[in-house]
Amino acid sequence: MHTSDVLDAIGGLTAQLKTYAAKLPPIVHLTAVPTGVRPKPEAIDEYEEIVSRFRQQSSGTAYKGLNDSLIESLEAFEVGKLLGSVQPLLAVLDYVERMQRDQEIEVGRIDEKRLAEYRAALHKIMPGNKPELDGSGRGM
């Protein structure tokens, strides 16, 4: 398994989250989704397939430590918890960057760009990342 394979999986999961997030109302409580607004069963199946494929490919590699975070993201996605789905994927990106920094893996220039793009996309998905809400939640 190569870094590009990891990023392919993260890219697929990010795409699923972006599609789901687009269907949510602009302001959603961080821990709950309004009744009836859950990912479609097909989206859940695809998300699960990506995670399953990753788990099979990562067995016995330096990337097997990412499995728990991906499962956590899947479980949150299944019940419609957007924040709970995004945070583990951000943790995966942090883990990959740490592995690169510690020279456990090689990350090419193209993959570095993909890491940054996926991080930016995941941050945009997170609730409260809207310009019209800038400054909210910081108290008086």
Quick check: is 48 in a domain?
yes
pLDDT band at 117 (very low <50, low <70, confident <90, very high): very high
Residue type for 54, please?
F
pLDDT one-digit tens code per residue, 34-48: 555 789 999 999 999
Quick check: is 105 in a domain?
yes
pLDDT one-digit tens code per residue, 25-75: 765 554 555 555 789 999 999 999 999 999 999 988 889 999 999 999 999
Give Dmax (Cα) for the chain. 51
Scored b (16 or more CB within 10 A) or e, 101-140 reads: eeeebebeeebeebbeebbebbeebbbeeeeeeeeeeeee
Quick check: is 108 in a domain?
yes
Distance CA 122, CA 90 (A): 7
- Domain count of the chain? 1
pTM for this entry = 0.81
Structural domain range at position 84:
3-129
Is pLDDT of 102 > 70?
A: yes
Quick check: is 25 in a domain?
yes
